Structure 1
Amino acid sequence: MKRLVHLFMTCVLALALLSGCASKSEVVKLPRPVGTIAIAGFTNPVFNWELLAGYLPQEGRPIKADVLQQLDAKMVGVLSKHGVTGYARPAITRQCQEIEVFENMGTRRQAAFAYWVKVGECMTADYILVPQILFWQDLRGMQKADYNIQPASVIIDLYLIDVNNKRIVRRFHFDETQQPLSENVLNAGTFFKRGGKWVKAMDLADEALDNGLMELGL
């Protein structure tokens, strides 16, 4: 029996190493955008028409304002970690977000896109990064227990909009619900990277911003 357990753990660790290698190779950093960049404050669309793409898993489910504030702070921290400087911070861009309004410009999706272009123009930026949190479910239960758990689950979209040419040039989509190792051995690398325990939604958001901004070239 001990021999079987040892063999199983050896296989799991091997998969973890392979998964870790694969995850690193999947993150492709694009060239940094040339021009001025405004970073919008996180928004929480509660209706599908507020999105720039895709659909909400559940409409009418708002997220607490303090979570959005924490995400704004984390965004600034990750940008600093990546060596990005000289951009307009979310606290500044929010002023233009509060000034501009959605207008009837064709379909509601078109109006949502036009709104963000106007925010970028208000900031006199060449690019505007629009982060949206579509779903947020925090961990409920003990982090080290494997029962009676509501796992953390996060869906985040990051859009880089070319303000001058009025188009989305890059997008990153993150949709992650943590699973126990027993349910998905192929994610062993991620499981062990997270300390072999249940993580909080903000930890998943850290991963989303770190990988997402890198893929967007920021």
Structure 2
Amino acid sequence: MKRFFLQILLCLAALMVLGGCQSKSEIVKLPRPVGTLAVAGFTNPMFNWELLAGYLPHEGQPVNKRVIRELDQKLVQTLGKHGVTAYARPAITRQCQEIEVFENMGSKREAAFSYWISVGECMAADYLLVPQVLFWQPHRGMKKPNYNVQPASVVIDLYLIDVNNKRIVRRIHFDETQQPLSENMLEAGKFFERGGKWVSAMELAEEALDNGLMELGL
């Protein structure tokens, strides 16, 4: 009986905070970029010096190449869902990614930025979208909420680079490890949107792409 009432209290508390959760209509969006757009394939930086900003949660932990390929597909699908169709796709941009190399100039962060500018110039693009996956932990265990699971955890960065003016227009940083409702009532909105169950790392990545691309105007 006590357990039943505890569940009722949790549900009532969750409903009370639902109104405070950010909706897609509240996302601050950039205007859609005017000019040619190239979309890079996902990369998986292994060391901090490969990043354009921030730091890795854990250095030297590679993400499975199969995951990288699926992320590229999800990226293309999400852009299509948002009505973005006129752009150079990752399969094309990856050719320039393989041609260009990091240059030994300035700091390592400057070299990383110069590399992506070179990729954009190689593509003759006005804007370059650079997606990076920094951490990937798959969900392991039952789908129903319990404590005997390894929750999904994902860290993804999206950069929109103005190639001509050599500047980063905006960086979108997504860092989330799913938590049970009982541990974080403030995340009740996400809990119910996800069907009250544990989700996969790819489902978290889809959320990152959907919301992140909207913020970038894409």
TM-score scaled to structure 2, two decimals? 0.95
Inter-partner Cα distance in structure 2 for 1:31 and 1:55: 28
Q: CA RMSD in A?
A: 1.4
Code of the aligned partner of 2:185 = V
Residue 57 and residue 5 in structure 1: after superposition, are their counterparts in 2 closer, same or farther (change >3 A)?
A: closer
Q: Which among 3, 8, 11 is matched to residue 9 of structure 1?
A: 11
Runs of 5+ consecutive residues of structure 2 not aligned to the other structure = none
SS at match of 1:55: coil
Q: How many pairs are equivalent?
A: 216
Partner of 1:27 in structure 2?
A: 27
Q: Does 1:122 align with 2:128?
A: no
Partner of 2:75 in structure 1?
A: 75
Q: CA deviation at 1:116?
A: 0.3
Code of the aligned partner of 1:87 = Y
Inter-partner Cα distance in structure 2 for 1:135 and 1:3: 38
Code of the aligned partner of 1:161 = I
SS at match of 1:156: strand
Identical pairs, percent: 73
Inter-partner Cα distance in structure 2 for 1:7 and 1:111: 54
Runs of 5+ consecutive residues of structure 1 not aligned to the other structure = none
Code of the aligned partner of 1:110 = E
TM-score scaled to structure 1, two decimals? 0.95
Moved over 3 A (4+): 1-8, 23-26
Code of the aligned partner of 1:9 = C
- Whether the 8 Å CA contact 2:52–2:112 is kept in 1: the answer is yes
Code of the aligned partner of 2:175 = D
- Whether the 8 Å CA contact 2:24–2:211 is kept in 1: the answer is no
Q: Within 5 Å, give how 1:1-218 maps onto structure 2.
A: 6-15=8-17, 17-20=18-21, 22-218=22-218
Inter-partner Cα distance in structure 2 for 1:5 and 1:54: 39
Q: CA deviation at 1:148?
A: 1.5
Residue 175 and residue 104 in structure 1: after superposition, are their counterparts in 2 closer, same or farther (change >3 A)?
A: same
Residue 14 and residue 145 in structure 1: after superposition, are their counterparts in 2 closer, same or farther (change >3 A)?
A: closer
